[in-house]
Structure 1
Amino acid sequence: MWPELLLLLLSGALTLTEIWAGLTKIPGHASSPRPVPHTLRYCSTAMYGPNVWQYRYTVVGYVDDTEIMGLDSDAQNPRLEPRVTWMQQPWVEQEDPDFWKEQTQVFKHYEDVRKEKLDLRGSAFISDLELYTWQENTGCVLGSDGRFLRGYSQFAYEGTDYNALNENLSSWTTADTAPWIDRNRLLRVPDADSVRTFLESKCVRWLRLFLENGKETLLRADPPKTHVTHHPISDHEVTLKCWALGFYPADITLTWQRDRKNVTQDMELVETRPAGDGTFQKWAAVVMPPGEEQRYTCHVQHQGLPEPLTLRWDPPPQTTITIVGITVALGLLGAVVTGAVLWRRKCSGRGRKSYAQAAYSNRAQGSDVSPTAPKA
C-alpha cells in the first residue's frame, strides 16, 4: 500500500474542533460526572489510485475519543463491525435487531457514491501517479443533560474543505477553493433535510445508548503519567521535554513557563497521539542555555487530575554522582592493581624457576665429579 493511504487510514477524519467528555477522578474519592458535552461522529475516507486505480473505502465511528465501530472495503466480507467489547454485547440487537445490517447497507451505498465521484480517469487533471481522496465527517453533540446541542457534516477533497452543513442544518456552504475540480460531478452532497433528520434523531438516540452501555470506558478519566527529561544539544543549548503518557480523554494542556511567564512561542508542542491501548500521549519541549533549567516549569492540566501539576527537571543528586565516580575510580584502580600483581607474580615465577633449575643443574654436575687426590 501507499504511504499516503496509511496516513489517511490512521487519521480517518477531517480536522475538526474536538469535544471532550469524561469524569473527574480524585484519588481516594468516588468519581463524579463532569458537565461536558459528548459527541458521536462517523468519519469516512474514500481513496482512488495509483496506476491500477485501486479503490478503498473506510468508515470509523467514534464516541468522544474512543473508536467503537468500523468498516473496511479491503476486508474479506466488508461490513460494519464493533471495535470495542461492550459493542459486542446483546444490547445492540435488543435495541435494533437489524442495526449492523442496516448500517452496513447505508455505508455501502455511500461507498458506491464516493467511488463514482472518484472515477475521474477521463479528466485531464488526473495523473496515474497520484492518490485521490474524498473525506466526510458527520456527527452530533449532546449536552451533559443528554439534550441535542448541535450537528455537523463536512466534506473534503484532497484534504481541502469543500462543503459544510450550516449551523442551522438547513443548507450547505461550498468553499471557494480548487476551482479546477469538476464540481458538478464531485461535489454533490446529500439533501440537507435528510442529514438534519439523521443528526437530530437517530444520531442522538444511539449516542445516548452508547454512553449508557459503554460508560465504564467512555466516562472514565485516566490521569496522565508525567515526567521531564533533559537532552543536551550542544555546549550552548539543552532541551527540556515535558511528557504526559497514558491519559484519557485526549484533551490536555501542556505549558512551559520561565520565571512564571509562559513561553508558548518558544515551545515545541506535538499533537496528541493515540498510544494504542485506548489512552493518549503528548509532549512539549523548550530550549535554553545550560544552567537555566531550574528557571523553567512545566504545567499540566487534565480532567483526570484533581488539580494542575507543576513539574521541574530534577538533576541527578550530587552525592549520587560523587558515589558513582568514586566507585568507578576504585573499580579501575582495583583492576590496574590486580593486573600488576598478576604480571609481577608471573614474571617473578619465571625468574625463580630459571634460577632453581640452574642451581639444581650445577649441583647435579658437581656430584658426578669425584675429588681426585694429588699424585705423589
Structure 2
Amino acid sequence: MTQPQCSLSLPLGILREANQPLHLGSHSMRLLHTLLTSPDLLEPQFIYGIYLDDIHVSRYNSREEPPRMEHCAPWVDQQEPEYWEMMTQDMLRVIDIYDNILKEMLHIYNQRNHTLQILMACHMLPGGNFSHGQYELLFNGHDYIALNEDLRTWTAVGKAAEMLRQNWEESGMAQSSKTFIEGECMQLILEKLDHGKEILLRTDTPKIHVTRKVRADGEITLRCWALDFYPAEITLTWQRDRSNQTLDLDVIETRPAGDGTFQKWAAVVVPSGEEQRYTCHVDHEGLPEPITLRWEPPQPSVPNMPIVTGLVLGALLMGAVVTFLIWKKRTKGKERAGSESSLHGNIKPS
C-alpha cells in the first residue's frame, strides 16, 4: 500500500505578528487511527494522522523506516527532536492498545483482510470552551461502535459490536475516552494553535458571487458561492422577499480548497423570471458586516466609443480619398481630350 503523504498547502505569506495573543474562534482536532491486516503483512500496518481544522498536522506510518511521528506543517517543525521522540513512544503505546482491540475482533471474524478505523475528536467553542467530542470505530468501512454525545455510554451496531461494547463498559473505556477528549485533546488544540498562530489565526475574506443555470424543467437554479475564505466557519442563506428559504435550500458542507482556504455554496430553485426576488446572505469573520447580493443579469455589450469614432473617421477619410482619385482621373481625361482637339485644329489640309 502506498504510504499517505502530508496533505497541506498553506499561503505562508499571510502572517501575523509572532507575539500576537491567541484570539480563539471555533476549532476542532481530529485523530484518525487506521489498522490494516492482510496475508501479505506479517504485522498489522498502523497509520495515524492528526488534523487541526481539516489541516493535516502530523502523521505516522508503521511501514516507514524508521517508523516515527513527523510533522506535516512547517510551523509544527518548531518542536525539538526530543518532542518527536516522545510522540513516537506515545504512538507505540497507542498501537498496542488498538492492536489488542483488533485481536478481540479477529476472534469473531474469519476473514484475513480487515480495516479498523478509529476517530477521536474534540471541538472547541469560540473563547476556548469545550463543545463536544467523538469516538467512533469503523470496521471494514462500516459503523461498528460509537461513544454517545454524553461521552459515557456506547451505541453498538450488530451482535459482534455488542460483545465489544460489553467489554468496554466493564473496563471503563468510556471514562478514559471522555477524559482524553475533554482534556488532552483540547490541550492539543491550544498547543497547535500557539505554534501556528501566524497562519491558523489569520482571516481571509470570502470571494462571493451568484450564478444562474436553467434546469431541464425550465426553472432556474441560483447558486451562491463563497470561495477562498478562512477560517472555515461561514453562514450562507437564501431569502425570498426577505423570508428565509429553508425547505428548498441545497447547501454543501464547507470543504477545503486545497490551498489552506475553504469553499462553500448554497443553491435554491426559483421560477423563471423571479430571480430578482431572491437574495443571498453571507456572514463570515472576514467580513466587516454580513453581505447581501442578488444574481445580476449580464449587461448588454456597449461598443467602445473611441473604436466606433475611429471606424467612422476612417470610413469618411477613405471615402474622401476615393472621391479625390475619381475626380482627379476625370480631370486628367478632360485635359487630354482638350489637348488632342487643339492639336487637330492647327493642322490644315495641303
Asked if these proteins are the same fold (TM beyond 0.5), I'd say yes
The share of aligned pairs that are identical, in percent, is: 37
Is the Cα contact below 8 Å between 1:44 and 1:57 reproduced in 2? no
Q: 1:216 to 1:234 in 2, by over 3 A?
A: same
Shift of 1:150: 6.6
CA RMSD, Structure 1 to Structure 2 (Å): 3.9
Structure 2, unpaired ranges of 5+: 8-19, 309-350
Match of 2:58 among 46, 59, 69: 69
Give secondary structure in 2 for the equivalent of 1:211: helix
Matches within 5 A, 1:1-376: 36=25, 38-39=27-28, 41-48=29-36, 55-89=44-78, 92-93=79-80, 98-119=82-103, 120-121=105-106, 123-124=108-109, 127=111, 132-139=115-122, 141=124, 144=127, 149=130, 152=133, 154-158=135-139, 159-160=142-143, 162-164=145-147, 172-181=152-161, 183-184=163-164, 188=168, 203=185, 206-234=188-216, 236-320=218-302
Shift of 1:306: 0.9
Is the Cα contact below 8 Å between 2:237 and 2:282 reproduced in 1? yes
Give secondary structure in 2 for the equivalent of 1:110: helix
Shift of 1:204: 5.3
Q: 1:121 to 1:60 in 2, by over 3 A?
A: closer
Q: 1:234 to 1:56 in 2, by over 3 A?
A: same
Shift of 1:66: 3.4
How far apart in 1 are the matches of 2:21 and 2:272? 44
- Residue identity in the other structure for 2:82: D
- Residue identity in the other structure for 2:60: L
How far apart in 2 are the matches of 1:185 and 1:297? 49
Superposed CA offset, 1:16-56 (max 9, x none): xxxxxxxxxxxxxxx997564555x3412324367867954
How far apart in 2 are the matches of 1:230 and 1:253? 20
Superposed CA offset, 1:235-274 (max 9, x none): 6122111111111111111111122222221121111111
How far apart in 2 are the matches of 1:226 and 1:290? 23
Shift of 1:299: 1.1
TM-score scaled to structure 1, two decimals?
A: 0.62
- Residue identity in the other structure for 1:45: H
Is the Cα contact below 8 Å between 2:144 and 2:161 reproduced in 1? no
Superposed CA offset, 1:277-321 (max 9, x none): 11111111122232221111111111111111112111111345x
Is the Cα contact below 8 Å between 1:80 and 1:100 reproduced in 2? yes
Q: 1:295 to 1:166 in 2, by over 3 A?
A: closer
Give secondary structure in 2 for the equivalent of 1:217: helix
Give secondary structure in 2 for the equivalent of 1:181: helix
Give secondary structure in 2 for the equivalent of 1:62: strand
Superposed CA offset, 1:82-137 (max 9, x none): 11111112xx22xxx5321121222233224323433545535x556x75433131
TM-score scaled to structure 2, two decimals?
A: 0.67
How far apart in 2 are the matches of 1:51 and 1:233? 51
Give secondary structure in 2 for the equivalent of 1:78: coil
Give secondary structure in 1 for the equivalent of 2:218: coil
Is the Cα contact below 8 Å between 2:210 and 2:222 reproduced in 1? yes
How far apart in 1 are the matches of 2:298 and 2:132? 52
Is the Cα contact below 8 Å between 1:60 and 1:70 reproduced in 2? yes
- Residue identity in the other structure for 1:291: G
Q: 2:10 maps to which residue?
A: none
Is the Cα contact below 8 Å between 1:300 and 1:308 reproduced in 2? yes
Instruction: Report the count of equivalent residues.
Output: 286
Give secondary structure in 2 for the equivalent of 1:301: strand
Give secondary structure in 1 for the equivalent of 2:92: helix
